[in-house]
Amino acid sequence: MMDFSQKVLRLTGKIPKGRVTTYSEIARALGNPGASRAVGNALRGNACPDKIPCYRVVRSDGSVGGYSGVMNSQEKTRRLERDGIEIRQGKVDLKKHFHSFGRIHQ
DNA sequence: ACGACGGCCCTCG
DNA sequence: ACGAGGGCCGTCG
């Protein structure tokens, strides 16, 4: 088990500070576009070790999304802001901070 | 094997 | 801007 989840975490760990990516982008980068939902599922289950900045993963429309089970967690927002990312109306500016993985990773 | 459930996404009204 | 509906996928019971 945890083949997909592993990859998800690995990629998540590569997100540079001050940047964010989306659930769908991760799915796409893993060569499994459409598994965006499964991505969130993976992050949720793994209890996000402090090693992995799960909070840097947001929704495709910029809205923060959930964190450790709760939606629109203030904790997630806080951490993002601490990385220097501004959040307005519960959304981040993807135009500014979006991070793409480009090539299909594994 | 099966069905339910999510840190989702996209298209319409 | 916002909610509803349908689709997709890996995990867990």
In degrees, rounded to 5, the angle at the alpha carbon of residue A47 between the alpha carbons of residues A51 and A72 is: 100
The answer to whether the predicted template modeling score (pTM) of the entire model surpasses 0.75 is yes
Q: How far is the CA of A77 from the C1' of B1 (A)?
A: 41
Nucleotide with minimal C1' distance from the CA of A37 is B8
Interface residues for strand B (CB within 7 Å) are A 22-24, 36-41, 43-44, 46, 48, 54-55, 57, 59-61, 65-69, 71, 76
One-character DSSP codes across A62-99: SB--EETTEET-HHHHHHHHHTT--EETTEE-HHHHB-
Is strand C within 7 Å of residue A36 (CB)?
yes
**Tens-level pLDDT at each residue, chain A (106 residues):** 679 999 999 999 999 999 999 999 999 999 999 999 999 999 998 877 788 999 999 999 999 999 988 898 999 999 999 999 999 999 999 999 999 998 788 8
